[in-house]
Structure 1
Amino acid sequence: MRDAHPSQTAIMAAASRAAHLVVDGEPYIFRDTLAATLLGGQAEELVGYHRVHGGHIVLSGTRAQVTARAAYTERRLGDRFEQYVVLGAGLDTFALRRAPGRPPTRVIEVDHPATQQWKRELMAAAGLTTPDGPVFAPVDFESGGLMSALREAGLDPGRPALVSWLGVAMYLTEEAVAATLAALGRLPRGSELVMEYALPPGLRDERGAEYASFALAAAADRGEPWLSFFAPDEVSSLLKQHGLEVVEHVRQAGCVDPELWRRQDGLRPADLCRLVRAVVTG
């Protein structure tokens, strides 16, 4: 969010998760059944745009990206962790979709204060405000203060947490990425991080390069340019430097069962961004 305007990145990601259930056929990669509800009056227009232009690589590529990364991360969460920290949560709906009766998980959403206020308003308008909803921890990633914000939000320093950091790092400077990882390295031993990062041009596949040729320019035009790009070995080195041990790097194609990519529609994986899963060892 810039200049108190809603984050276009958060809106587009939520719209893409909602559109996946309307535009793309089964098998679904990920089911976000509340994204459209949270978007409220904007949902019809945004999903309608996917209906009309959904075959364009930016729209189909974004649907593939946001659904694959969410599916991987929420599968990793499962019932393994009692604490789930969502960095740059935007319009994430996990805390609102949790099935009744599943083991309790404390969900802490970290984002810019203005983004969180906007989300609160959307939740209230949609009737999605519940006692079991997310705990909000306001943070500006470029300014720091992550750990103090998590403590104030009730993070238990004695229990491991899963941290998801999806669709955020590419919008930050390398210095801000490193500072955030330094903070996460102080989480309890056994905590895990799932982080999405963008590849530099020479490491992208053909579809990733085509997607980037449209998406990066569009992001810059809306005032949210991509600022950092990392090779996998650079990410591994940075994580190790801050007390996190890499378990795996995951291409978009590997985020879900390969059978889910055997599709009749135009949804295809691209190698532009990857996920890395790492464990706090300190």
Structure 2
Amino acid sequence: MIEGTPSRTALRVAMRRAAHQVFDRPLVLEDPVALRILPQEQRDEVKRTPDGLRKPFSAAIRAFMVVRSRYAEDLLGAAVARGLSQYVLLGAGLDTFAYRNPFSGLRVFEVDFPATQVWKRSLLAEAGVPVPGNACYAPVDFEEHSLAEGLAEAGLDFSQPAFFAWLGVVPYLTERGFSETLRFIAERPAGSGVVFDYSQPREVLPPVEQMMLDSMSARVAQAGEPFQLFFRKEELNSRLTEAGFGKIEDLGGPDLSARYLAGREDGLVLRGSGGRIMSAWRA
């Protein structure tokens, strides 16, 4: 990310979530705020989105982004039913959960770069979207500042469990940034959990998917937010186990498609094996 500027990839992700609301049926992720939060130029662009049958690669990226949010929110709902009351969005971007949160007792902490949060709050104000009292902002530079300090200042109760959604962030981190954040989450009380998506390294992908990864890598690098971190799934499972996590679930395209996209005929499908989603819990 370019210092002092809002995240460009956060905007592209938000546009894909908004496009899902406009073009895809049935909805995987119901998000009435997604289109409203966008600047007018991007709202207009979303409305010109080709359908998934004409642009299968674009639809596949959209599918992954809405499925990962839906999966995280499904896990959150189950955790709230068990008594959890703190939800932390790491790299919140233009995520809208805090503004459609159905759980009155759940505090939502948005962690992101300061410039991105200023930009987001201005978009919310322009759209007339109210910020509820249980939404908390924690401006943190993940590589330079302490996540613990940022969350403490925002009011996170460190004595209580929390669920961390780390979506669309891990591939952009350094190894150090990933390790320190994972360690912090692993130190939370029993009942805490984490969900994140990650990318497998180029060498484990088939040739066509290598080309797709190269194309996407070039685009995000041009935006100043290059991919930096990749994991083999076996390695990542071992790291989480060693860190003290249990109930690990590591899902690829076929698993996610069976759960969320079965029987669709609109072209909203997952493609490839590079992107995966993992969740894990503190015993």
Please report the TM-score for the alignment, with normalisation by the length of structure 1: 0.90
Residue of structure 1 in register with 2:27 after alignment: 28
Q: Gaps (5+ residues) in structure 2?
A: none
CA 1:154–1:236 in structure 2 vs 1: closer, same or farther (change >3 Å)?
A: same
Decide whether aligned partners of structure 1 residues 49 and 155 sit closer, same or farther in structure 2, where only a CA change above 3 A counts.
Answer: same
3-state SS of paired residue (1:268): coil
Deviation at 1:278, TM superposition (A): 1.1
What's the counterpart of residue 84 of structure 1?
Answer: 87
Is 1:51 equivalent to 2:54 in the alignment? no
How far residue 36 of structure 1 moved from its aligned partner, in angstroms, is 0.8
Deviation at 1:204, TM superposition (A): 3.5
Equivalent in the alignment of 1:95: 98
Instruction: After TM superposition, list the pairs within 5 Å mapping 1:1-282 onto structure 2.
Output: 1-24=1-24, 26-51=25-50, 55-78=54-77, 79-80=80-81, 81-99=84-102, 102-132=103-133, 134-204=135-205, 208-209=209-210, 211-245=212-246, 247-255=248-256, 257-258=258-259, 260-270=261-271, 271-281=273-283
Change (3 A) 1:259 1:67: closer
SS of 2:194 mapped into structure 1: strand
> 1:17 deviation in Å?
0.5
Shift in Å, 1:196 = 1.0
Contact 1:192/1:278 (8 A) holds in 2: yes
C-alpha separation in 2, matches of 1:20 and 1:206? 29
Cα pair 1:95 1:132 within 8 Å, conserved: no
**Is the alpha carbon distance of 1:256 and 1:53 closer, same or farther for their aligned partners in structure 2, counting shifts above 3 Å?**
closer
8 Å CA contact 2:87–2:164 kept in 1: the answer is: yes
Structure 2 length-normalised TM: 0.90
Per-residue displacement from partner, 1:174-195 (whole Å, max 9, x unpaired)? 1211111111111112200001
**More displaced stretch, 108-117 vs 207-216:** 207-216
Q: Distance in 1 between matches of 2:206 and 2:248?
A: 23
Taking the aligned partners of 1:165 and 1:36, their CA distance within structure 2 comes to: 22
1:75 is displaced (CA, Å) by 0.5
8 A contact 1:71–1:255 mirrored in 2: no
1:57-76 deviation line (CA, Å, top 9, x unaligned):
44212211110100100011
Give the Cα–Cα distance (whole angstroms) in 1 for the partners of residues 23 and 53 of structure 2: 7
1:175 alignment partner, SS class: helix
The amino acid that maps onto 2:131 is T
Contact 2:261 2:268 in 1 (8 A): no
Between the two proteins, the alignment pairs up a number of residues equal to: 278
- RMSD, aligned CA: 2.2
Aligned-partner Cα distance in 1 for 2:112–2:42:
22
CA contact (8 A) 2:196 2:279 kept: yes
Per-residue CA deviations over 1:191-216 (Å, capped at 9, x if unaligned) read 00001111112434677545323211
In structure 2, what residue type is equivalent to 1:276? Answer: M
For the Cα contact (< 8 Å) 1:189–1:280, is it kept in 2?
Answer: yes
Percent identity of equivalent pairs:
37
Letter of the 1:117 counterpart: V
Which amino acid is the alignment partner of residue 56 of structure 1?
A: K
Question: Does the CA-based 8 Å contact 2:9-2:223 persist in structure 1?
Answer: no
> Aligned partners of 1:259, 1:126: CA distance in 2, in Å?
30
1-side partners of 2:71 and 2:207: how far apart? 23
Segment drifting more, 200-209 vs 115-124: 200-209
Q: Which range moves more in the overlay, 42-51 or 27-36?
A: 42-51
Is the CA contact 1:245–1:278 (under 8 Å) kept in the aligned structure 2?
Answer: yes
Q: CA deviation at 1:122?
A: 0.7
Q: 1:259 to 1:143 in 2, by over 3 A?
A: closer
